[in-house]
């Protein structure tokens, strides 16, 4: 039996190599798959963590049955993984899926990536907490605390989720039009607050997406939560997926 | 020998059926492939026209060697076709490729699709002519006349192409990040003016795209021009491509 592992960074799954892991620099340029494989005495499959999450949700979670799926993680940053035409879509360098850095407003606020107006500056948990703080909503406890305030009826907190949801809706509309996406699974720290964001996302989507693909499209919060990556990594270890 | 045909509309290539062709309503819901096949005594392959163009450029034109290719046609409208993971990417309903209706500025000008701020309102030949006219540039002769004025040094005409190029660059950046696109081929009426747009597109791309996929990415004007669709349709008639 093999072992699957999800790494927050750019990996080459065929070689089991981590090219770069910004938050785990000890793994940079490490042959993690072969190295771990020798220690464990088993084959080890290395994959990007959000790609593993996407495979997990697709096969066992909220993405089941989807044919063109984006799994987006709304956490500290915004990450993504794409399942297209029946397989994990990685792209020529393995960098595909970076939905968090699609420009949403070209002149918008600066993103930590250096660009402006990326989806991430509107729809990450970090962005929600920052906007809530700026509006005077208590943010001890992070985005979950902001959700509690919104559910209690605090209009400032509700507005923060409205803005984040609308941003997700605009991005989703572009991807429904371009990729004929039929499912979007919302993961990460904001997944539990998706009900607060969804009406606003739906409104933007309805204004912008073409009717035919829109008819088929739906989104759903993650079913597997923190287990999605583990489930996906195990599936990837069993199968040789990806293009 | 078979026959390939590109139709400006939504088609089901497996059945040879045109679902809807907005500008050729006589074809709506017609079994064009089987019907033509009976008349011609040969198998007929029906495909969306921009998908056929994409296949043509990919196999015989400016897209050769690309692994993740968007062919975008900047004409009356803005259309697109995607080659991903070694095949034409159609999506579950066959509607994929509509890059012209990705939101670029959510609050931007109204698009003929009903939404606001789509790429098409900035980067179509129609948009270029409208912006040139508004700026006082003579537009008899269409976008080509605006290009002549820009090449002669008219700053108003140059500005029109700068804006269109920047819009293409912002859209390209999002797609380089999301899909790890390695090539974008520019077709349609504005392809001949791509040199006027490219520096502005490149600047936006450089500001927004991640360095790793950006290193591999390049764009090029169409090599096959008006022949791309015919070449692609012929290739599609010979092979059974697409996902």
**B208 to chain A, minimum CA–CA distance in Å?**
5
Task: Tell me the C-alpha distance between A131 and A143, whole Å.
Answer: 10
**B155 to chain A, minimum CA–CA distance in Å?**
23
pLDDT band at A101 (very low <50, low <70, confident <90, very high): very high
Scan residues 92-151 of B and list those with Cβ closer than 8 Å to A: 92-99, 101-106, 113-116, 118
The predicted structure's pLDDT at residue B22: 87
Q: A128-166 pLDDT, tens per residue?
A: 999 999 999 999 999 999 999 999 999 999 999 999 999
Provide the terminal-to-terminal Cα distance of chain B, rounded to the nearest Å: 23
Whether the CB of A65 is below 8 Å from some CB of chain B: the reply is no
CA distances from A148 to A77, A139, A151, A157, A169 (A): 21, 10, 5, 9, 22
Q: B88-108 pLDDT, tens per residue?
A: 999 999 999 999 999 999 999
ipTM of the complex: 0.96
The predicted structure's pLDDT at residue B242: 77
The token duo for A111 is: 């993103």
Give the pLDDT mean for A71-95.
Answer: 97
pLDDT above 90: residue B71: yes
Q: Which residues of A touch B106 (CB under 8 A)?
A: 104-105, 170, 204
Which helix or strand (DSSP H or E) is residue B68 part of?
Answer: strand B68-74
The token duo for A176 is: 């429904």
Task: Tell me the C-alpha distance between A120 and A100, whole Å.
Answer: 5
Which helix or strand (DSSP H or E) is residue A89 part of?
Answer: strand A87-89
Domains of chain B: 1-61+223-243 (3.30.420.40), 65-222 (3.30.420.40)
Give the pLDDT mean for B49-73.
Answer: 98
């Amino acid at each position: 039996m093999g072992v699957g592992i999800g790494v927050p960074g750019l990996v080459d799954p065929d070689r089991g190599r981590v090219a770069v892991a910004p938050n785990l620099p000890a793994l940079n340029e490490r042959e993690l798959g072969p190295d771990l494989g020798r220690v464990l005495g088993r084959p080890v499959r290395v994959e990007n963590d959000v790609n593993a999450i996407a495979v997990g949700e697709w096969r066992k979670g909220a993405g089941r049955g989807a044919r063109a799926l984006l799994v987006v993680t709304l956490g500290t940053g915004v990450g993504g993984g794409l399942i297209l035409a029946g397989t994990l879509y990685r792209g020529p360098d393995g960098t595909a899926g970076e939905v968090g850095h699609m420009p949403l407003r070209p002149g918008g606020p600066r993103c930590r990536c250096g660009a402006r107006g990326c989806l991430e500056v509107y729809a990450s948990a970090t962005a929600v907490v920052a906007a809530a703080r700026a509006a005077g909503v208590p943010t001890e406890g992070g985005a979950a605390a902001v959700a509690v305030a919104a559910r209690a009826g605090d209009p400032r907190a509700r507005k923060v989720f409205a803005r984040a949801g609308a941003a997700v809706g605009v991005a989703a509309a572009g991807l429904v039009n371009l990729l004929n996406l039929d499912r979007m699974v919302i993961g990460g720290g904001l997944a539990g607050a998706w009900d607060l964001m969804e009406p606003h996302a739906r409104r933007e989507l309805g204004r912008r997406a073409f009717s035919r693909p829109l008819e088929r499209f739906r989104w759903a919060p993650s079913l597997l939560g923190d287990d999605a990556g583990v489930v996906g990594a195990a599936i990837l270890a069993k199968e040789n997926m990806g293009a």
